[in-house]
Amino acid sequence: MKTRVALALLLALATAARAAAQPTTPEAQRRSEEQTYLTFPEWYLVYSPAEYAAFVKHSPPSEFPFFGHLRQFWSSYRHVYRATRDRPLNTEYHVMIMVIGVSTTVEYALRSAYENVFGRLSELTAPYGTTAEDRLAARVAQDYVDFIRDRPWYEFDFATPLRELWRAPAFGPGMVRKWERRYALTTEYAVKGAYAWLLGLGTAAAYGAEVPSTAVHVDRLPPGIETELPRMVVLERFGDGSALVTLPRYDDFKDHAATLAARGASFVEIAGNRSVILLSALVPSDWTSPVPESRLLFAQPLLTQPGRKRVVLVVPVARLAETLRGLGRGGHELEHVYDY
């Protein structure tokens, strides 16, 4: 009798363990663990234009550290490559990183060379920011960054700013600078527009449409959270009070995850993963305090913001909410949560 009871208990425990190990995320919304690492280089090509957009609001493009940003991009790829060597090779993502990395290297090298010769010469004829072309370029740079935080860069409309550029008065103060900027911006918007069109066609053919949401298993749904986060969709509620929901991807995922954490929820599973997830935060350069349960993957100084750096942390999914709350209490800026 005791033997049968013991066997039944062991069977129940084994069944419960298997059930706990099975992802609750629908298979169509599962993404492999290595993607949380591999998405960082892709996102760096959001952070770099963001630094550029903030920089050119007050300083000329000729002073922007293009080559410093290229070094940071390739260094970040080296770090994430090493971190994923023991996982299955995600060939598609590595190819994508190489494509965007090489194209950005070519772009930044050409822009640096041009700005440090022709850009600097035209700056001698008119202080930076005094021409309508300079102001248009700064505004478009910010519009571009705002767009690519939630959409692929190749969907950005480069034709509209190009038309706006040539509809503006062609004569006025700083004529040399005006026409030099017209040439530079026309070349940039036209080339990027054509490349974006071709890349969009190739991406659609190779990868198809991306899933716009991330499935997340949370341990609880705080009262009123569905009103606070109207884009969150509840897929299933479980008997233990936890729930399976979907959150918007990309930059909005960070905001939704931070809100859930601030309201006391914890994460059980994200996109089918219960192991680790990557996040980055912007902190003072002398910041050394480790976040509990996390591991520093690498850090980068913000080249246009002396005194600040980016820290990239590997965090267990089960401790993500605690880490987000800790960063919030420390007054640090959460940059991104890399939702695979």
- Write out pLDDT tens, residues 19-39: 445 789 999 899 999 999 999
On whether both 218 and 200 belong to a single domain, the answer is: no
On whether both 181 and 222 belong to a single domain, the answer is: no
On whether both 137 and 186 belong to a single domain, the answer is: yes
The residues, ordered by sequence, that sit 6+ positions from 213 with a Cβ below 8 Å of its Cβ are: 29, 233, 246, 247, 248, 249
The per-type count for the chain, helices as H runs and strands as E runs, is: 11, 8
Determine the pLDDT at residue 204.
58
Handedness of CA 18, 24, 29, 30 (dihedral sign): negative
Of 271, 251, 274, 252, nearest in space to 320 by CA: 274
In a domain, 215, yes or no: yes
Distances in whole angstroms, Cα of residue 241 to Cα of each of 218, 220, 221, 265, 316: 9, 6, 8, 11, 21
Q: What percent of the chain has pLDDT over 70?
A: 91
On whether both 261 and 127 belong to a single domain, the answer is: no
On whether both 249 and 115 belong to a single domain, the answer is: no
On whether both 216 and 334 belong to a single domain, the answer is: yes
Retrieve residue 229's tokens: 């986060």
The Cα 165–Cα 183 span in angstroms is 10
Domain edge (last residue) among 156, 183, 207: 207
Q: Which amino acid is at 272?
A: G
Determine the pLDDT at residue 4.
45
On whether both 107 and 219 belong to a single domain, the answer is: no
With a cut of 90, say whether residue 265 has pLDDT above it: yes
On whether both 191 and 219 belong to a single domain, the answer is: no
Q: What is the largest CA-CA distance in the chain?
A: 99
On whether both 51 and 194 belong to a single domain, the answer is: yes
Helix (H) or strand (E) segment spanning residue 233: strand 233-237
3-class state of residue 191 by DSSP = helix
Number of domains in the chain: 2
pLDDT digits (tens, 9 = 90+) for 127-165: 999 999 999 999 999 999 999 998 889 999 999 999 999
Q: Which domain holds residue 47?
A: 35-207
| pTM of the complete model | 0.88
